[in-house]
């Protein structure tokens, strides 16, 4: 059986190269196609990958191109402008929109019958995945923005205040991958048991979660979180291509879920009986609904500002 083909745009960057390594080293084989800022940047990665062969399976990795989009099972868009210190995700919108624009134009040409998925990692993911969604012919469930990191960080923050392992915590952050994220503190579970945080612990969790990007910025490191992001995207690719059950969030275009239409926001994702991905719709507290509608409004305005592809 032919292994799933994954095309990575921005393969020479921190996230792209980490993701490529995870895929070519995974127990299940993948065919990986790399697109970088220059052919030389990809050639360097391929030279590096050659030396992995004595350690096990020969990696199936090669130069990629937009002509190969139509036969890819997953296209990962991770290209971006160089990160500047103390710049928010939203502030990068113009530069990153220009970087992904030529690739989005090619993805928009893909047939509506295509059975693959696009995962947009380039920030701001909600805005850029929504921009692509407005112009693409493929189904809304097949364009996903990577926003799982907020949920993962929330689980770590909750585990920290509870004194337990993060793997034992179920907690979710939805909305924007940015300042307008919506932590669902009403749905926290630890070791399968519902947890109600006291006011002090709620404040500690929110301070930890909302302060993450600022703490990282103060380090002065001009690279964000390639390991977590690549690990999360690799998990999404595994679940998408191998039939796994998602336990992650993604920015997906909504069509009535949570009372929202034609806007991409981060929500939990599940798999239907027919195998398609769809949004999980939970009943939220009124403050959570209000915050989610606010996030959706901001995202829609920013997509509008980008105009047409």
Q: Are residues 209 and 123 in the same domain?
A: no
Q: Are residues 215 and 120 in the same domain?
A: no
Q: Are residues 59 and 93 in the same domain?
A: yes
Token code pair at residue 277: 């991905």
Q: Are residues 110 and 207 in the same domain?
A: no
Cα gap 163→179, rounded to integer Å: 26
HSE value, Cβ hemisphere, 13 Å, CA-based, for 123 = 23
Which CATH number does the domain housing residue 293 bear? 3.90.110.10
Q: Are residues 178 and 296 in the same domain?
A: yes
Q: Are residues 17 and 43 in the same domain?
A: yes
Q: Are residues 122 and 268 in the same domain?
A: no
Cα gap 136→144, rounded to integer Å: 12
Q: Are residues 213 and 300 in the same domain?
A: yes
Q: Are residues 159 and 285 in the same domain?
A: yes
Tokens 């923005």 — which residue? 145
Please report the sign of the dihedral spanned by the C-alpha atoms of residue 23, residue 29, residue 30, residue 31: positive
Token code pair at residue 272: 């239907």
Q: Which domain holds residue 101?
A: 5-146
Q: 128, 146, 164 — which closes off a domain?
A: 146
pLDDT in tens, the chain (309 residues): 899 999 999 999 999 999 999 999 999 999 999 999 999 999 999 999 999 989 888 899 999 999 999 999 999 999 999 876 556 666 789 999 999 999 999 999 999 999 999 999 999 999 999 999 999 999 999 999 999 999 999 999 999 999 999 999 999 999 999 999 999 999 999 999 999 999 999 999 999 999 998 888 888 876 678 999 999 999 999 999 999 989 999 999 999 999 999 999 999 999 987 888 999 999 999 999 999 999 999 999 999 999 999
**What is the DSSP code string of 176-188?**
-SSTTEEE-GGG-
DSSP category for residue 309: -
pTM: 0.96
Query: Are the C-beta atoms of residues 294 and 157 closer than 8 Å to each other?
Result: no
Our count of domains for the chain comes to 2
Which CATH number does the domain housing residue 41 bear? 3.40.50.720
């Amino acid at each position: 059986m032919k292994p799933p083909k994954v095309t990575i745009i921005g393969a020479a960057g921190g996230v792209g190269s980490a993701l490529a390594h995870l895929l070519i080293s995974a127990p299940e084989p993948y065919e990986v196609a790399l697109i970088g800022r220059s052919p030389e940047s990809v050639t360097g990665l391929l030279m590096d990958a050659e030396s992995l062969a004595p350690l096990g399976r020969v990696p199936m990795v090669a130069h990629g191109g937009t002509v190969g989009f139509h036969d890819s099972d997953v296209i990962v868009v991770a290209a971006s402008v160089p990160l500047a210190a103390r710049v928010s995700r939203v502030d990068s919108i113009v530069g990153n929109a220009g970087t992904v624009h030529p690739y989005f134009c090619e993805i928009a040409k893909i047939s509506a019958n295509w059975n693959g998925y696009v995962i947009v990692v380039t920030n701001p993911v909600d805005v850029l995945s929504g921009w692509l969604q407005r112009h693409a012919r493929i189904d809304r469930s097949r364009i996903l923005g990577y926003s799982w990191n907020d949920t993962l960080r929330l689980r770590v923050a909750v585990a920290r205040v509870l004194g337990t392992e993060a793997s034992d915590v179920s907690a979710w952050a939805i909305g924007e991958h940015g300042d307008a994220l919506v932590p669902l503190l009403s749905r926290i579970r630890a070791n399968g048991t519902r947890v109600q945080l006291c006011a002090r612990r709620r404040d500690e969790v929110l301070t930890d979660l909302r302060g993450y990007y600022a703490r990282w910025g103060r380090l002065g490191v001009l690279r964000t979180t390639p390991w977590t992001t690549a690990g999360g995207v690799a998990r999404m690719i595994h679940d998408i291509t191998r039939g796994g059950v998602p336990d992650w969030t993604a920015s997906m275009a909504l069509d009535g879920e949570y009372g929202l239409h034609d806007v991409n926001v981060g929500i939990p994702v599940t798999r239907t009986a027919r195998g398609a991905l769809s949004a999980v719709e939970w009943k939220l507290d009124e403050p959570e609904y209000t915050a989610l509608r606010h996030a959706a409004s901001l995202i829609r305005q920013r997509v509008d500002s980008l105009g047409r592809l």
